[in-house]
Amino acid sequence: MQFLLHHNVITQAIASNDHKTLEQCRDKNSAGWVLSNSLAAIHSDLSKTMKIDAAHSALKEALQGIALASLTGSDMLAMSPSLKMDYLDSLAVRTAEVFKLDGIITLKPEVFAESGIRAFPPDELPQVLKDDLANVEKVPLLNIPATYPQIWNDVQQEMFDVVRSGYFILGPKVAELEKQVADYCQVPYAVGVSSGTDALLLALMAADIGPGDEVITSTYTFFATAGSIVRTGAKPVFVDIDPVTFNMNMEQTAAAITPQTKAIMPVHLYGQCTDMTPLQDLAKKHKLWVVEDACQAIGSEFKGQRTGGLGDFGCFSFFPTKNLGGFGDAGMVTTRSKELYEKMKVLRVHGMEPKYYHKMVGGNFRIDALQSAIILAKLPHLEEWVDDRRNNAQRYHHLFQKSGLTDRLNLPPEIFPRHVYNQYIVRVNNGKRNELREYLNSQNVACEIYYPVPLHLQECFKDLGHKQGDFPEAEKAAAETLALPVANEVTAEQQEFAVEKAKSFFP
Ligand SMILES: Cc1ncc(COP(=O)(O)O)c(C=O)c1O
C-alpha cells in the first residue's frame, strides 16, 4: 500500500523526534511518498525553531528511504485548487490521485473530508494497514507501480539526467548498464540492445548463422526464440521438454544434431536453468554455438554460475514484466569473448565501422539511453526482488500443501538452484486447467497460460512438417500449465486469497 505523508506529519516527526510513522512508511508494504513541492513549506516551518542548516539536515534524514512525488507543471496547471483547502493541500489531493495512492496521512484529516481521498492521522496507520491487507479483493498478476516507492527517486534522477543531457541513443548510460549487467552475470562483456528478441537475433548474426544452418531449441517457449532463428534464414529444429523443468530434453537434443547444426539455443523457461552440463558437453563435442535464451532468467544459476555466462552468448530481455524490466523494450547480450563483443557492437549499428562504412550488414539493435538509465536505477534492487519471488514461491508451496491440493495440482520443483521464478507455474491435473483459470479469473485472481500452443504447432511453422503428437510433453504442458501471481510485489495475504480460491474450485 502507498500513502502520501502530508507535510505536517513530516514537520511534526522532526520537531518531536518521533520517526515511528516515517519508519513504517519505509516498508514496501506501507510505502510513504512526500510531495516534493511541500519541501519548501516543511523547511520553512522547521526554520522557525532550528538553524537553517540543521533544518536541512533533519529534513534530509527524515526523508531517507521515502519517495518524493513530483507533480508535473501540467499536472499542477490542470488542477483546480479547492476553495476549502490551501494550495498545497489541493496539490496533495492531486498527487494522491495521479499516483493512485491509498490515502493521505495527515494531522488534519478533516481538511480532506470532501476530497474523495481517504485521509487519517498517523496513529491510525497500523489499523488501516491491518484492515486493508486482510481485506484482499483481487490479486493482479503484476502490479508494476507497487515497486515505484522503492525506485522512484533514483529512476527519476537517472531519467532527468538523460533528458537534460540531450544524449538519447547509446552513450555513457548504456556503457554503464553494460558494465553492471556483465558484472551481475559474472562475464566480462555485455552489449545493450533494443529487446530480448533482438538480443537473440544479434547473437545468431554474430555467430554467422544463416540459410542452410540448423539451430536446435525447445518447442515450448515464447515465439521470439524460434522467430529469431527463422529471421536469420536458418531452420529451427525443435525438441521436446523435460516434463519437470519444462526445459529442453537433452537426449532429444543429442539426437537432433546433424551436419547442418550450428547452434543450440536452450531456454531457461520461467526462470530455471536448463541442465547445462550435458548441453555444454554436446556443444563441445560437435563444435556448436550455445546461445542462451535467458530472457526470463536474469540472476538464475546453474551450479553456482549465473545465466548469461553458461554459453557463448546470453540473451536477456528487459521487457517490463521481467524480473528486471525497463519502462519499455530493451535487452542485452552477454559474452565471454572479446571478439564476439566487438562484432556485436558493430552489428548493433548496421554493421557500421567507422561511421558510414559498412563491412557487414547489421541492424538497428540499439538500446536507448532512457531505458538504460531506468534499468540502472532498478538493478540494485534485483537481488531483493529475486529473494521476494523465491519466498513467494516457497509460500505457495506451503499453502498448497496445507490446503491438500497437491493431488490436484503439481507444484514447480526447483531442480537447479537458483530458480528466479519469473513465473510460478502449476500443472492442473485431470483436464481442469481451463476451468480453473476461468474460475480464478472470475474470483479476481489473475492467472495466465504460458504458452497455449507449442511452437511446432504454430501455423507459421507448418512448413517444418510437424503434427500433433510430435512432442507430447510440450503438448501436455501447454494443456496443463497455469501461471499464478508470484512477482515481488505480491503480498502473503494475496497468495493466501489465491490458494483459498483455488481450494474452493475443487469439490
Ligand atoms: C523466453 C523468451 N525469449 C525471448 C523473449 C523476447 O524478449 P522481448 O520481448 O524483450 O523481445 C521473451 C520475452 O517475453 C521470452 O520470454
Q: Do 260 and 212 form a contact (C-beta atoms < 8 A)? A: yes
Q: Which residues line ligand 1 (CB under 6 A)?
A: 195-197, 221-222, 224-225, 267, 293, 295-296, 317, 319, 329, 331
Separation of 315 CA from ligand 1 center, angstroms? 9
Ligand 1: nearest atom to the Cα of 317: 10
Final residue belonging to a domain, choices 135, 165, 200: 135
Residue nearest to atom 12 of ligand 1 (CA): 295
- The DSSP bridge partners found for residue 445 are 139
Residue 19 lies in a domain: yes
Residue 359 lies in a domain: yes
| Per-residue pLDDT at 83 | 76
DSSP conformation class of 141: S
Ligand 1: nearest atom to the Cα of 321: 14
Residue 141 lies in a domain: no
Same domain, 368 and 395: no
What stretches of 44-195 adopt beta strand conformation (E)?
A: 67-69, 104-105, 119-120, 189-193
Domain of residue 465, residue span: 382-505
Residue 142 lies in a domain: no
Please report, for the domain that includes residue 65, its CATH number: 3.40.50.1010
Please report, for the domain that includes residue 359, its CATH number: 3.40.640.10
Q: Which residue has the cell 507430447?
A: 472
Same domain, 103 and 193: no
Residue type, 77: L
From residue 358, give the alpha-carbon distance in Å to each of 229, 339, 355, 361, 389: 23, 18, 8, 7, 45
Same domain, 131 and 222: no
Indicate the number of domains in the chain.
3
Same domain, 57 and 128: yes
Q: Do 445 and 138 form a contact (C-beta atoms < 8 A)? A: yes
Residue 155 lies in a domain: yes
Same domain, 130 and 181: no
Ligand 1: nearest atom to the Cα of 195: 10
pLDDT in 10s for each residue of the chain, 507 residues? 999 999 999 999 999 999 999 999 999 889 999 999 999 999 999 999 999 999 999 999 999 999 999 999 998 888 888 778 999 999 999 999 999 999 999 999 999 999 999 999 999 999 999 999 889 999 999 999 999 999 999 999 999 999 999 999 999 999 999 999 999 999 999 999 999 999 999 999 999 999 999 999 999 999 999 999 999 999 999 999 999 999 999 999 999 999 999 999 999 999 999 999 999 999 999 999 999 999 999 999 999 999 999 999 999 999 999 999 999 999 999 999 999 999 999 999 999 999 999 999 999 999 999 999 999 999 999 999 999 999 999 999 999 999 999 999 999 999 999 999 999 999 999 999 999 999 999 999 999 999 999 999 999 999 999 999 999 999 999 999 999 999 999 999 999 999 999 999 997
Separation of 165 CA from ligand 1 center, angstroms? 30
User: How buried is 287 (Cβ within 10 angstroms: 0-12 exposed, 13-18 middle, 19+ buried)?
Assistant: exposed
Three-state secondary structure readout of 227-245: HHHHHCCCEEEEECECCCC
Final residue belonging to a domain, choices 322, 357, 381: 381
C-alpha span between 200 and 198 (Å, rounded):
5
Sheet of 67-69, strands arranged across:
67-69, 31-35, 2-5, 104-105, 119-120
Helices (H), 379-450: 382-402, 433-442
Residue nearest to atom 4 of ligand 1 (CA): 224
Residue 276 lies in a domain: yes
| Per-residue pLDDT at 29 | 87
Separation of 272 CA from ligand 1 center, angstroms? 15
| Per-residue pLDDT at 372 | 97
Please report, for the domain that includes residue 388, its CATH number: 3.90.1150.10
Residue 371 lies in a domain: yes
Same domain, 175 and 108: no
Same domain, 125 and 65: yes
Same domain, 160 and 108: no
Same domain, 169 and 193: yes
Residue nearest to atom 10 of ligand 1 (CA): 196
Residue 144 lies in a domain: no
| Per-residue pLDDT at 82 | 78
Same domain, 324 and 410: no
Same domain, 353 and 388: no
Same domain, 389 and 410: yes
Final residue belonging to a domain, choices 101, 135, 169: 135
